[in-house]
């Protein structure tokens, strides 16, 4: 076998490991509503999730891949060793979050891991990180929160006064409502593919481009597609192995949610994520958009004090703050050790 094959083996295996952990985190916002309402069997979730993630990555994931593959750290720095260390840091961070049962932002862990490597290598693109990516992280969850709060407090109560009550039993019998809920789940999975697959695929795409001698990240679309085809199916494996615990924490730990509200949340956060992917190519946290919407729903039902004293909400904020910082310093430390 060629030397390139041996050089790429470990980074590709690590990228697949990262994708497995991303699949565990992504299952909750995608299919918790449909699974909880018994309109879809648990055994079908990983397959449908994996298919839609693949489609989303191929159709709408290019811009995010370019941002992660060259926008934070120049493509030339993605050597086999450095790429492996970046992916290892991401995978360890996400695995720890999944085992705790708190869905962690795959995008933030990825970006901060690459940023840690870039800082250690004196190659950090501060403009992309501080003027494009981080402001998007700060703004989109706030938008998700206030849109959901407005819907839950004002719009949905008005709709319910004119529509019959929707519950699990009615949902199981109503074909139209089943279709809406399943469509919203598939839509979320598509958006995950558009934004999050790049977290694992972009580093190995840049590495492969270096190994075959492509100088520009903009010229390696076939390599991005190949990387996506390798990585995306691993999301389905992660969904099957790790997705159930995270789904339970998100869907039940913050606030009891009906399938109707869950479908609204899914559609809202998937739309915001897809806009970030297609318009700006910014890797963005679906789980934080999803968590912000669930917190808004809790505020509308139980008030601000009860919501923010909820142990699950406190744990979410702690993990969301610690995990990206951990990914940054872990990667930075590993880079300093091997330089």
pLDDT by residue (tens digit) across 190-239? Answer: 998 888 888 888 888 888 888 877 655 555 677 888 888 888 888 888 87
Read off the pLDDT of residues 81-93 as tens digits, 9 standing for 90 and up: 999 999 999 888 8
| Arithmetic mean of pLDDT, 126-146 | 91
Radius of gyration of the chain (CA): 20
Say yes or no to pLDDT of 169 above 60. no
CB 281 within 8 A of CB 66: yes
Report the alpha-carbon distance of residue 148 to residue 292 in Å, rounded. 8
Instruction: Give pLDDT, residue 114.
Output: 93
Measured CA distances, 335 to 85, 127, 330 (Å): 8, 22, 9
For residue 98, what pLDDT is reported?
A: 67
Q: Are 26 and 106 in contact (CB under 8 A)?
A: yes
Nearest residue to 10 (alpha-carbon basis) of 233, 203, 197, 239: 203
Q: Using the CB atoms, write b or e for 117-144: b if 16+ within 10 Å.
A: bbbbbeebbeebbeebbbebbeebbeeb
What are the tens digits of pLDDT across the range 27-53? 766 776 676 666 777 778 778 888 898
Look up the pTM and report it.
0.84
Which of residues 4 and 104 earns the better pLDDT score?
A: 104
């Amino acid at each position: 076998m060629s030397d390139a094959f041996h050089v790429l083996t470990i980074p590709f295996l690590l990228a697949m490991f990262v994708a497995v952990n991303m699949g565990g985190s992504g299952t909750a916002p995608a299919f918790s509503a449909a699974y909880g309402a018994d309109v879809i069997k648990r055994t079908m979730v990983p397959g449908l999730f994996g298919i839609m993630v693949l489609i989303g990555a191929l159709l709408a994931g290019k811009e995010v891949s370019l941002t992660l593959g060259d926008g934070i750290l120049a493509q030339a720095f993605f050597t086999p060793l450095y790429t492996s260390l970046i992916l290892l840091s991401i995978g360890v961070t996400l695995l720890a979050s999944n085992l705790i049962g708190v869905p962690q932002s795959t995008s933030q862990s990825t970006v901060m891991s690459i940023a840690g490597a870039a800082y250690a290598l004196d190659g950090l693109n501060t403009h992309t990180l501080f003027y494009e990516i981080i402001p998007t992280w700060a703004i989109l969850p706030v938008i998700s929160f206030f849109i959901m709060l407005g819907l839950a407090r004002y719009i949905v109560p008005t709709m319910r006064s004119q529509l019959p009550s929707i519950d699990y039993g009615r949902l199981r019998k109503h074909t139209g409502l089943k279709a809406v809920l399943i469509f919203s789940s598939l839509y979320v999975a598509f958006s995950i593919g558009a934004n999050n697959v790049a977290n694992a695929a972009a580093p190995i795409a840049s590495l492969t481009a270096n190994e075959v001698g492509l100088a520009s990240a903009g010229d390696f679309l076939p390599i991005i597609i190949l990387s996506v085809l390798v990585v995306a199916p691993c999301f389905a494996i992660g969904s099957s192995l790790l997705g159930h615990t995270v789904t339970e924490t998100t869907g039940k730990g913050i606030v009891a949610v009906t399938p109707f509200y869950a479908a609204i949340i899914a559609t809202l956060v998937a739309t915001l994520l897809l806009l970030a992917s297609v318009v700006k190519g910014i890797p963005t946290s679906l789980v934080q958009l999803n968590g912000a919407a669930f917190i808004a729903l809790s505020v509308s039902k139980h008030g601000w004090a009860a919501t923010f004293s909820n142990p699950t909400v406190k744990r979410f904020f702690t993990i969301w703050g610690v995990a990206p910082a951990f990914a940054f310093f872990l990667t930075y430390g590993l880079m300093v050790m091997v330089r």
